[in-house]
Amino acid sequence: MHRPIARGFARAYATHWLPQSARTWLDGVEHAAFARALTDAMKKIPQLSGREESIAQSISARASEILEAETADGSFTRDAVETTHAKTAARACAVYECTRPYLGNDDATMDLIRTHAGAERTAQTMNGGLVRGALMLSRDPIATIASMVGNVTNDLAPGAWRREDGEFVTSTCTYREFFKKRDMEFLTATTCCSLDVDVWFSGLDAKSATVTLESSMARGDPECRISVRAGEK
């Protein structure tokens, strides 16, 4: 990895609320679930069915190769948080490289990556249920939602987001830099806030509050900006 990118991950994820042991355990659970779900999904896709096991093995091997290439010069610290996000980025690259030749177009390939990175309906339903449950117990829905958005952005990049009048803003994205190095900058739309805002907040009742990704570096904007607004009563 070029040192600026490695340091970007290290700087962005230097501190985190989740203990390293718990983060490592969750990382392993998530990776296994991703592999199983992706393999099962490929069985239902005509272009991939019948070769899903070999493709899944190729994805795992390629993701490991990409991650190792990023750590070869010793500038990548491999702490739990940094490794989680680097693995996610490497895996997105690997899925794209290994399935794109069969699927034949970028849209289908990116949909596959997004779906199995957490955008499937089950994840949205479960996460949305947690959000709605918190709102039921809250005396201040906007403050509660803002706190949850803060937790999501802190998980993505601790210390890199700033608060501006009900909005969360950042002008740096280590995922984007990771993909840009491989001429795959478009994959940013399958990860980071481009994914998590929908996964967590797409099911919000508009009468309670709205959370919107107003701008995104994945879409070519100079910054990512997430707004939290009061609902329409």
For the CA atoms of 170, 176, 178, 180, what is the dihedral angle to 10 degrees?
A: -140
207: confidence class by pLDDT, cuts 50, 70, 90:
confident
Quick check: 205 and 231 in contact, CB under 8 A? yes
pLDDT value of residue 127: 59
Q: What's residue 26's pLDDT? A: 60
Query: Residue 223 — pLDDT band, cuts 50, 70, 90?
Result: very high
- Percent of the chain with pLDDT strictly greater than 70: 77
| Whether the predicted pLDDT of 13 surpasses 80 | no
Average pLDDT over the chain reads: 80
Better-scored residue on pLDDT, 7 or 213: 213
Over 80: is that where the pLDDT of 134 sits?
no
First to last CA, the chain: 50
For 185-200, what is each residue's pLDDT tens digit?
999 999 888 888 888 8
The range of the structural domain enclosing residue 107 comes to: 3-230
Write the pLDDT tens digit of every residue in 43-87: 999 999 999 999 999 999 999 999 888 877 555 555 556 677 888
Question: Which pTM value belongs to this model?
Answer: 0.76
Count CB neighbours of 182 within 10 A.
Answer: 15
Could you tell me which residues come within 8 angstroms of residue 43 by beta carbon, excluding any fewer than 6 positions away? 49, 52
Report CA torsion sign: 123, 124, 129, 132: positive
What DSSP state is assigned to residue 141? H
Q: In angstroms, rounded to a whole number, what is the distance separating the alpha carbons of residues 129 and 125?
A: 6
Q: What is the DSSP letter of 190?
A: G
**Does the pLDDT value for residue 7 go beyond 70?**
no
The sheet carrying 162-164 orders its strands as: 162-164, 167-170, 224-230, 209-215
Q: State which amino acid sits at residue 32.
A: A
Please state, for a pLDDT cut of 90, what percent of the chain lies above it: 36
Q: Which pLDDT belongs to residue 129? A: 64
pLDDT at 183: 94
Q: Are 203 and 124 in contact (CB under 8 A)?
A: yes
Q: Is the dihedral of CA 29, 32, 38, 44 positive or negative?
A: negative
DSSP state of 172: -
Please name the residues in contact with 57: beta carbons below 8 A apart, sequence gap of 6 or more.
none
C-alpha 67/C-alpha 79 separation (Å) is 13
pLDDT for 6 beyond 80: no
Query: How far apart are the C-alpha atoms of 137 and 130, rounded to whole Å?
Result: 11
pLDDT score for 73 = 58
> What is the number of structural domains in the chain?
1
210-230 burial, b at 16+ Cβ within 10 Å, e below that, comes to bbebebbbbeeeeebbbbbee
User: In the beta sheet, which residues pair with residue 227?
Assistant: 167, 212
